[in-house]
A and B are shown apart, each in its own frame.
Chain A
Amino acid sequence: MTRATVGPIADAIGRTRVQACLECGKCTAICPGHRAHEAFTPRGLVKKGILAMTEGLPCDRDMWHCITCRLCKEVCVQDVDIPEFVRAVRREARPMGNRGKETHDGLFQVACEILQEPDLKQGRLWWLEEDMKVKVDGKATDGDNIILFTGCAPFFDIIFREFDRTADIARASVRVLNKLGVEPILLSEERCCGHDEHWTGNDKAFDRLRRLNKKAIEATGAKVIVTPCPECAYTLKELYDLRGIEVLHMSQFLARKLMTVGSKPVLGELDLRSLAFHDPCRLGRYMRDFEAPRVVLEAMNGPERKELQFERTTARCCGVHAWISCDEGSRRLRRDRLKEAEDAGAEVLVTACPKCRIHFNCYLHHQGVEPVKVKVEDLTVLVAKAMGVWK
């Protein structure tokens, strides 16, 4: 086991308040990473962090099991920022060859490397359909100054199409925006937002992606970015330093539109018996928006709303993060969350994150796992269906 030098960690120890820990163990009891991989405990990591001040940080591999879902920080009475501390430790461990167990032979990490090449020509908009009204690399005019940042959904579609047609989320986004009279700007050379690189401690890669995206975004002159992916929304909003540009998750954009339309907003009818909502961690615990997706759900008539055991601030995690540590442990997390929806009597578990949907659908598609009778759908796709623009 290697030890990281104290210097760079010392800053993180101060910033993340690990020394304020009262050792109550709430973080560990609620931690999905620990549930999936017993060797990782947030309280243990914090303890190691305190010892690191004098002894250097022991960098074992367990910390890669942290999903950065922020449940720990949510229940911590001392506001110790464990995910941020994990990120700092990862940043120091990475150059020593200490990396997480990457899924799909590291395909996503490689893709992220390729996406850092400035001259890359991507073909990223393959999923567009003829009747969609968009402005590819358009310039903002007075009336239309909204960028639709699709995120990696169209790319994930190619990998996971056997069980998740992720590009549908990008299509649904365009169709919903068109229906609302918005002709969004799309970026032909949009890159991965760098969310996963940031959280796995790869600061250099994150910064390259950030610069490329920032340049493309600023070239349009647009003042609003809408994205169906909460990871993109959080990253662009909080980590990009986009001055004078507002970043909204699709649910936030829609909730705002609905509020300005009328007193009892109605988006349309859904042909579903019942649904429950899964708060994605980036939209909920990170961006602190628990209301917007619910406002949108309320505006769709038909299905009965079922309450999950764990919603809003303490919503359980979908089970995977940054395409690492996906295994039987993480499958248990997905099973438990899906079963929560099944137990609540929900026909569909609605999420507002393309990655959550993939992770859940992956479980439901997997052979030899405990079957769970629930379907999973993305909020934007449901809105497109309710508005009658789904094809």
Chain B
Amino acid sequence: MSSKSEKSVVVIGGGVAGMTAAIELARAGHGVHLVESAEHLGGLVRLHGAAAPGHEAPDKLISGLKKELEGLKAITVHLSSRLTGFEGQCPNAKATIEANGKTAVTVNAGAVIIATGVQPFDPKRLPEFKYGRTQAIVTTLELEGMLKGGAPVHPQTKARLKRVGFVQCVGSRMETRGNPWCSNVCCGVTLKQAVLLKQRSPETEVIVYYMDMRTFNRGQEELYSESRILGVRYSRGIPSEVLTRKDGTLLVRSEDASLGRIIERELDLLVLSIGLEPQAGGADTLKMLGVAATKDGFVPIVSSEAGPVDTGVKGVFVAGAAEFPKNIKDARTQAMAAACLADVFLG
């Protein structure tokens, strides 16, 4: 491994943030150990296969980054691996990386970048949506897969979709039921999927149940507008009752809070726009690194203004959704910043 210093950087997490940080560090001349717990790189983005209109498909981005990684000899990728030990302090720390719970290697950790990402909310925690009870109720993540082909069909009957409903904020903005934060990306994911549905199958009725549509990211307000022009309908109010029928259809009851009226709609697909939350088991890694998780379980930063990538522990930086749910652009930007700071830290 040819490197600027004897010290390598340990990047934990091989999603877009971790891959980006690893690439930038290698380009800057550092040795990198990229530790990924799954069998493959790409994290959550890998599962988002559908491209937004005018955008590159996220899974294409992943394969591009992978190619780049493979070309950089300074990067050692550890798949199916975890950080199981951490001794000393950066820049003189030693990290133990264990693959498949068996073989372990100990490497120099001059700096660490935490890029462990987030996990999708399990909608079974909100029984009113009846997720898991019928194939007609899916998550946005599952719809991503269905959108990889042409126009998606009903998972059970394989018929063309007549009416699709999206439910926003499933597992987000829940002050007392677990996750009080806005998950940041779900409105964008729904907009993308609603527009794709409408473009591929104009006769499919699409309705979005929402509390507030949040479209502050570049290009999203335009996408929101486009979706309305394409005929996507928006109903302010979240359903709280879903009746499942044997023929695969659903009867979904919500209050249209603008009208103050109950709306019962027959749908053949209900898509739950699920939020994002800290990785289960992420706390162990943080503890090893001497980083105290935030109250809600994310990786902390010193402050949004003064230290947006500093965890407060010397030489340990954070990048991507592990710090807070964010889109690809923001995750990669933070990863580049973390790589830059690690480079400066190592001199």
Contacts and interface: CB of A to CB of B under 8 A. Distances in A.
Nearest to A316: B241
B208 to A, nearest CB: 13
Interface in A276-314: 309-310, 312-314
Given A23-B211, A41-B260, A30 B241 contact: yes
A61 interface: no
A313 B125 CA distance: 11
B211 A24 contact: yes
Interface stretch (A71-79, A155-163, A172-180, A382-390): A71-79
A79 B237 CA distance: 16
Contact of A22 (B211, B239, B243, B262): B211
B177 interface: yes
Given A34-B262, A77-B174, A25 B257 contact: yes
B240 A78 contact: no
B255 A28 contact: yes
A29 B167 CA distance: 14
A41 B254 CA distance: 13
A44 to B, nearest CB: 7
Nearest to B254: A29
Contacts of B128: 26, 30, 74-75, 313-314
A165 B21 CA distance: 74
A28 B262 CA distance: 8
A87 interface: no
A69 to B, nearest CB: 13
A29 B127 contact: no
A43 interface: yes
Scoring A27, A34, A79, A314 by chain B CB atoms within 10 A of each residue's CB, the highest score goes to A314
B19 interface: no
Contact of A29 (B126, B240, B244): B240
A310 B241 CA distance: 9
Nearest to B255: A25
Interface in B309-323: none
Nearest to A74: B128
A309 B236 CA distance: 25
A20 interface: yes
Interface in A1-32: 20, 22-30
Interface string A20-59: 1011111111100010000001011000000000000000
A314 B241 contact: yes
Contacts of B198: none
B244 A309 contact: yes
B175 interface: yes
Nearest to A309: B243
A29 B129 CA distance: 13
B46 interface: no
A44 B211 contact: no
B205 interface: no
A26 B238 contact: yes
B221 interface: no
A interface: dominant SS: helix
A74 B174 CA distance: 12
The bracket for how many chain B residues form the interface is: 20 to 34
B304 interface: no
A29 B176 contact: no
A313 B176 CA distance: 16
Scoring B211, B240, B257 by chain A CB atoms within 10 A of each residue's CB, the highest score goes to B240
B66 interface: no
A310 B255 CA distance: 19
Contact of B253 (A20, A24, A29, A78): A29
Contacts of A44: 260
Contact of B257 (A24, A310, A312, A313): A24
Contacts of B127: 312-314
Contacts of A310: 241
A313 B262 CA distance: 21
Given A26-B240, A30-B240, A43 B175 contact: no
B175 A20 contact: yes
Contact of B237 (A29, A34, A74, A77): A29
Contacts of A313: 127-128
B262 A26 contact: no
Scoring A22, A26, A310 by chain B CB atoms within 10 A of each residue's CB, the highest score goes to A26
B163 interface: no
A106 to B, nearest CB: 32
Interface in B207-224: 211
B247 to A, nearest CB: 14
A77 B244 contact: no
B256 interface: yes
A43 B169 contact: no
A33 B114 CA distance: 50
B177 A79 contact: yes
A77 B177 contact: yes
A43 B262 CA distance: 12
Scoring B175, B239, B241, B244 by chain A CB atoms within 10 A of each residue's CB, the highest score goes to B241
Interface of A: 20, 22-30, 34, 41, 43-44, 74-75, 77-79, 309-310, 312-314
Interface of B: 126-128, 169, 173-177, 211, 236-241, 243-244, 253-257, 260, 262
The 8 closest A-B pairs by CB, nearest first: A25-B255, A79-B176, A25-B237, A26-B240, A30-B240, A77-B174, A28-B255, A25-B257
24 contacts: A24-B257, A25-B236, A25-B254, A26-B128, A26-B239, A26-B254, A26-B255, A28-B257, A28-B262, A29-B253, A29-B262, A43-B257, A44-B260, A75-B126, A75-B240, A77-B169, A78-B176, A79-B176, A309-B244, A310-B241, A313-B127, A313-B128, A314-B127, A314-B128
Given A25-B238, A25-B257, A29-B262, 6 more contacts: A24-B211, A26-B239, A27-B240, A29-B239, A77-B177, A309-B243
